Amino acid sequence: MVSDTGDLEFSLLRYKKPLEAMRIVIDQLVEEAIIDPQRCGITGLSYGADITAYAVATSSMFKAASLSAADLDPSFHTMASVNLEKTVEGYGYPYPDDLGRAMWRKSSVALNAARVTTPLLIQSPESEALASLETFKALRHHGVPVEWYVYLNEGHVKFQPRSKYLAYRRNLDWMNFWLQDKEDPDPSKQEQYKRWRELRKLREENEKKPSPGAIKN
């Protein structure tokens, strides 16, 4: 459920509640010595991608993340049709002027990029690619590990076998790299891991800098 009257706090519950449930499960599994909290990742498509983006923007609970599109940034309002713009404003996301951006900051990866610590893999269908541009550029600017792929001729749900295969493979590679320090020895992937090792070095350098503080919502 989301608001249709501009009540953003109500709309945000659709992200906060799943994350709180995950936190409870993670805490219990840690208490039972089943998992390592430093090796937890999150992925998402569609609504799941929104939950993932919100988690990346507002918490450090996950140490790696992958999503299909990051559309909780102000640019989404800018690119929306007139009808969709009204719908988005009903959710509680107004026109992103100075006052409006304060509302978007409650869930936007881009607007919280200076505080983000989670390495993010974005695998967008061509039809939704622009929705992730703001997040990608902001994370790159702030030295947060991010890699972005666009799958041509794909819609909201990828349907081409090759696209699905590549997306699944990259998800596994990304999670193994950041959560388990593992690299696939496949020679065709060596350029990929070269980039990712550079991203890891960049993150280590940024971690030495003073933190801008906790994210507030």
Span 107-133, pLDDT tens digits: 999 999 999 999 999 999 999 999 999
For the domain bounded by 8-207, which CATH number is listed?
Answer: 3.40.50.1820
pLDDT digit string, tens, across residues 138-184 = 999 999 999 999 999 999 999 999 999 999 999 999 999 999 999 99
End-to-end CA distance of the chain: 20
CA–CA distance from 111 to each of 57, 75, 123 (Å)? 8, 11, 20
Mean pLDDT in residue range 175-204:
95
Tokens representing residue 16 in the block:
């906060």
**Distances from the Cα of 98 to the Cα of 20, 74, 101, 113, angstroms:** 30, 11, 5, 17
Domain residue extents for the chain: 8-207
**What is the full DSSP assignment across 133-198?**
HHHHHHHHHTT--EEEEEETT--SS---HHHHHHHHHHHHHHHHHHHH------GGGHHHHHHHHH
Residues annotated catalytic, as ranges: 46, 128, 156
Read off the pLDDT of residues 93-111 as tens digits, 9 standing for 90 and up. 999 999 999 999 999 999 9
Radius of gyration from C-alpha coordinates of the chain: 17
Predicted structure pTM score: 0.92
pLDDT at 214 over 80: no
212 — pLDDT class (breaks 50, 70, 90)? low
